[in-house]
Structure 1
């Protein structure tokens, strides 16, 4: 099959492998895993690769992605707190949603009643990261109102840290979530089966054995995709960091100076670039740019290639030290960080290919 470049090549078996490893270490601590699909726009082959690991629930922040997955037989969670204007879609396409606003929950209840169903929600609690969630001091009063809604079932508490404020999950803040559950059980004589303790940033506590007892769910995206926890960037044992590879085609090779000739102003993105004079270097231009992805999240697989910079359409490489005899038309491979994968998988200008090839298992 002829490939269109630039493209992302996804090794589906590596996704399944990573998900299986993470599920195993979490299950040993009594923790369930929600496989998060937003970074790759819920592309069905990758979703299925996650489910092949034994993970039974998936989550996404976009209603459109949940709609895309409607024919997949598994439980689905809406990650981003619900929009009031999308109450019908939330109830229709998610089995459980994360919420923090009483007005929205009231609307979800009204919609669920119209559809003659009960909608499950997790109440999000802000433990200091200052993104979504009810403040700890207001949780009891909020639950008091939630239990009045006929078609809503409060099934748990959740939190999110690291993503906005950079707050690291620890025994203290996640411990507050467990204590809140105990208080709610006493005040309302009700069970909350789910205590959702965050995302891939909480994995380091699972790995270290320090995650508080009572945390029984994590929402894992980057851990599965890149094989690492996100609080400290530690590699997860026996996982892969190269399930997603960007491939770009060389469209020019020239020997040129490393400092532009002339008066330097701002570039196409309004920034004044700085250059280090390395003399004449062999430069390759790859047909991919900032319109396609977050180029500073790229790392060439050839360790002797470095990136000079990029414009909206062109990625400029230093290939002087490469031991490969690169020529125009050749393909250069790159690893991607999370933000780069997110942009590349969203871009209509980047083709996507999926491989089930297991030949590389021994490499």
Structure 2
């Protein structure tokens, strides 16, 4: 059945092993982020076999799949009030920035007879989650330490995901100083400094990672073999762990410019086109409902992605000559965003190789 994703479990495990070993050599524990592949059990097993210390996801529906696995589970997205009971039931640790939410977790943890661990998130300028004001963060930590069913396990931050702010020695040392301020103020020990995601890996390679950072949350680097600050390949890893196959349903020569007055496309955009004359165009049976067309990387370099509607992917096959026929498949490697959509789509079959 097409379209489908071919999933190479061995290559994923090898990627995890390479990156986890790199982190372990710097005394950094790794949380394997499973959201991009919807916590698929076979891929999760490959991550565990590769050497991750923890499993982490943003969706409680995915974290429920880990019940019974003897490994610590992290809730990455700040918990909604409506899911607090499930967060305590299915997760050992959650990332938090709102004291009212943490109080609700404390209450539920008491009812469930548990002590729930949290990582208190600091906003270092990327302007996604986290407490921005340093004094507020230290005071919040003090209030958390008074709760009976909560353990302040660590302090963390998120970078590059929203604002594109890079992890640097400067901002990660700021995180470490916040951790030290809490320890000094309240005479406690904070176990973890969670210094970001795949975008922080370049600091290890450049020997610039501050020593006190001892945890990273890694997803994209494991599945695509690249760090996410500059998009560079990580040596000895694979970038083809996931390959999308889509079948050609039309193959014809057509003009490169639409004919007639132009308005909006199906998504409310006003597309622009370049006149390349008559081109050999293919339509594949997949579209924006399933993938991000801008995130497709053709394995055959002669094929260019032109665009897509909901259910149709349009390709320029001119340079490929007569290499493809109606019914053939075209293969693509995927960026993180396109992989996320493809794996979430129920219309894309998942095949393990």
Please give the TM-score of this superposition, normalised by the length of structure 1: 0.95
Residue 71 of structure 1: how far off its partner (Å): 2.8
Residue 56 of structure 1: how far off its partner (Å): 2.7
What does 1:1-363 align with in structure 2 at a 5 Å threshold? 4-135=1-132, 136-322=134-320, 325-355=323-353
* Equivalent position SS for 1:195: strand
Q: Provide, for residues 149-175 of structure 1, a one-character-per-residue CA deviation record: whole Å limited to 9, x for no partner.
A: 100000110000111111111011100
**Aligned 8 A contact 2:29 2:53 in 1:** no
* Equivalent position SS for 1:123: strand
CA distance in 2 between partners of 1:326 and 1:241 (Å): 25
CA distance in 1 between partners of 2:183 and 2:314 (Å): 59
* Equivalent position SS for 2:221: helix
CA distance in 2 between partners of 1:288 and 1:94 (Å): 36
* Equivalent position SS for 1:341: helix
Residue 324 of structure 1: how far off its partner (Å): 5.8
Structure 1 unaligned blocks of 5 or more = 356-363
Q: Provide, for residues 219-242 of structure 1, a one-character-per-residue CA deviation record: whole Å limited to 9, x for no partner.
A: 000110111111111111111111
Q: Provide, for residues 178-222 of structure 1, a one-character-per-residue CA deviation record: whole Å limited to 9, x for no partner.
A: 112222221111111110000111111011110111000000001
Displaced runs of 4 or more, over 6 A: none
Please give the TM-score of this superposition, normalised by the length of structure 2: 0.98
Structure 2 unaligned blocks of 5 or more = none
Count, aligned residues: 352
CA distance in 1 between partners of 2:69 and 2:164 (Å): 34
**Aligned 8 A contact 1:126 1:159 in 2:** yes
**Aligned 8 A contact 1:196 1:215 in 2:** yes
CA distance in 2 between partners of 1:280 and 1:132 (Å): 49
Residue 47 of structure 1: how far off its partner (Å): 0.5
